Amino acid sequence: MRFTKALLAAGIAGTLALGVSVAAQAADLVAIITPSHDNPFFKAEAEGAQKRAQALGYDTIVLVHDDDANKQMERIDTAIARGAKAIILDNAGADATVAAVQKAKDAGIPSFLIDREINVTGVAVAQIVSNNYQGAQLGAQEFVRLMGEKGNYAELVGREADTNAGIRSQGYHDVIDDYPDLKMVARQSANWSQTEAFSKMESILQAHPDIKGVISGNDTMAMGAWAALTAAGRTDVILVGFDGSNDVRDSIRQGGIKATVLQPAYRQAELAVEQADQFLKTGKTGQSEKQLMDCLLITPDNAGKLETFAMK
């Protein structure tokens, strides 16, 4: 008996020495699922959600779906199998995601969406997204000003299946198209990718060497475009992005990319976790399902206050 008690005591002591309490082992699990963390925006979302969930006493599992609807369904299956109490999700497509979120709901797991909407309501508990149209208009207004209201320009568009790509493009054009001397000579999708944007920008420069400006659907593509412009000796081209990444912040401060639009990714993720916590405890969030967060224009005047998709 004494030997058994000694082993038990040693086991508990070893567990505590590893920094894992018995209570923590029984904590409810929150699954956090986003696109690839190669994009700093999605990495910031995952970190914001994970830190907030852990601060509220939850265990977490962080997964990526690489913008692949099939992988997303696999990650949802993993969350269900692991007994997750809630899912925080930046989804892989407005249409393709509906079935995955419905599957989680049918399994008794509520989903809280961030960054991207889906095309139905009543399946997710919350959809917390940036006001992409408002943000795009801010970026377009600054682009028009920097361009002097005239000149040839190109647009880099995000992933076509992503609702945000279309909303941002519409927001840009609802401003820029009011200026007849601003002429779009190329419009290419680079799928939110820095590598693709570099290649597309090279091709655009070859076809339109007189280009004066580029407006981009996100900062990752903006960084790829800027690398291509720099390699071609065209740092005179005016480039505006969207997201508020640290990389573009640094470029703005160095006189490269001219502006971007901050969408508060980190805070969105925190809010999703907070609302999940409230829902699990009370059965409601106290908020409507669809929630918009306004964006902020980032220029050399305020870029120094930007850090990891949030203003200091």
Tokens coding 45: 């979302």
DSSP, collapsed to helix, strand or coil, labels residue 270 as helix
Residue 232 counted as domain residue: yes
Residue 186 counted as domain residue: yes
Of 37, 165, 146, the closest CA to residue 94 belongs to 165
Mean pLDDT for the chain?
Answer: 92
Q: pLDDT (tens digit, 9 = 90+) per residue, 228-257? A: 999 999 999 999 999 999 999 999 999 999
The H or E element that residue 120 is part of is none
Q: What is the pLDDT of residue 56?
A: 98
Residue 155 has pLDDT above 60, yes or no: yes
Q: What is the pLDDT of residue 5?
A: 41
Q: What is the pLDDT of residue 26?
A: 55
Supply φ then ψ for residue 245, to 5 degrees: -75, 160
CA–CA gap between residue 221 and residue 190 (Å, rounded): 7
Q: Is the separation of the CB atoms in 128 and 174 below 8 Å?
A: no
Judgement on whether residues 243 and 160 belong to the same structural domain of the protein: yes
Residue with tokens 């900062």: 219
Fill in the DSSP letter of residue 174. H
Residue 134 has pLDDT above 80, yes or no: yes
**Domains held by the chain: number:** 2
Judgement on whether residues 158 and 236 belong to the same structural domain of the protein: yes
Q: Is the separation of the CB atoms in 160 and 196 below 8 Å?
A: no
Judgement on whether residues 40 and 53 belong to the same structural domain of the protein: yes
Judgement on whether residues 182 and 199 belong to the same structural domain of the protein: yes
Judgement on whether residues 53 and 65 belong to the same structural domain of the protein: yes
Q: pLDDT (tens digit, 9 = 90+) per residue, 52-99? A: 999 999 999 999 999 999 999 999 999 999 999 999 999 999 999 999
At residue 161 the predicted structure's pLDDT band, cuts being 50, 70 and 90, is confident
Q: pLDDT (tens digit, 9 = 90+) per residue, 7-16? A: 344 443 443 3
Q: What is the pLDDT of residue 260?
A: 98
Residue 8 counted as domain residue: no
Q: Which domain holds residue 123?
A: 29-129+265-291
Of 262, 228, 266, the closest CA to residue 242 belongs to 262
Report the CATH number that the domain containing residue 181 is assigned in CATH: 3.40.50.2300
Residue 22 counted as domain residue: no
